[in-house]
Structures are given as C-alpha cells and as structure tokens.
Amino acid sequence: MFANLVQLISGRPPEPEVAQQAFIEDVHVHHRMPRAPRVERLILVCWILIAAKHVFVIWVCRHYPVPFHQLWVNFPTWLLGALATGIYFGRVSRGYR
C-alpha cells in the first residue's frame, strides 16, 4: 500500500518483477483435527476427581494436625491437570495429532 503511494507521488512505474511478486499464487488450508468427545469426557471426569481430592485434602488438613499446608498436595495436582488439559486443547486447536 505504501509502496504504491510512493510510486504515485514520485511518478515512477512499478518494476515488472516486483509487480509479479505481489500476487498470491497458492493457498494451502490445513484442517483442524476433530475433537474427541470421549477424551474430553475423560478430562472432565478427571477434573471432577481433582476437585473432590482438593476438598478431601482441605478437610483432612483442617480436621487433623498435619505438619504441612494443603497446597503442598493440591497445587501440584492442579498444575499437572492444567498442563495436560492445556496441551490437549492446544494440540487440538492447532490440528496436531
């Protein structure tokens, strides 16, 4: 766009070789990998189990005198679950197998 403006102001015609490179000759479209409903249901079930484990660990840490904070157990579980879920949905959205 700006190259055409400069050519218009300067009054020079475009070079023939540059004009040929400005056009798109071919476009390739990659289709996304279809989502797997069974895998997504499994991910949902795993997140429900993670939530139940979190509630149980919080209850145990408050009910019994344990020498550690509940996040020492809950945070790594949440982090690995989020990482696995993010990798799955990232690969599905980009179309990788």
Question: What is the model's pLDDT at position 50?
Answer: 97
- At 12, the pLDDT band (50, 70, 90 cuts) reads confident
pTM score, whole prediction: 0.63
Which backbone phi and psi does 22 adopt, to 5 degrees? -80, -15
Q: Which of 12-16, 47-51, 86-90, 91-95 has the lowest mean pLDDT?
A: 12-16
The answer to whether 50 and 81 have CB atoms below 8 angstroms apart is yes
For the chain, what are the domain ranges?
Answer: 2-94
Report the distance separating Cα 60 and Cα 80, nearest Å: 22
Report the distance separating Cα 44 and Cα 36, nearest Å: 13
The answer to whether 44 and 32 have CB atoms below 8 angstroms apart is no
With a CB cutoff of 8 Å and minimum separation 6, the contacts of 58 are 70, 74
Task: Give the tokens for residue 10.
Answer: 């300067």
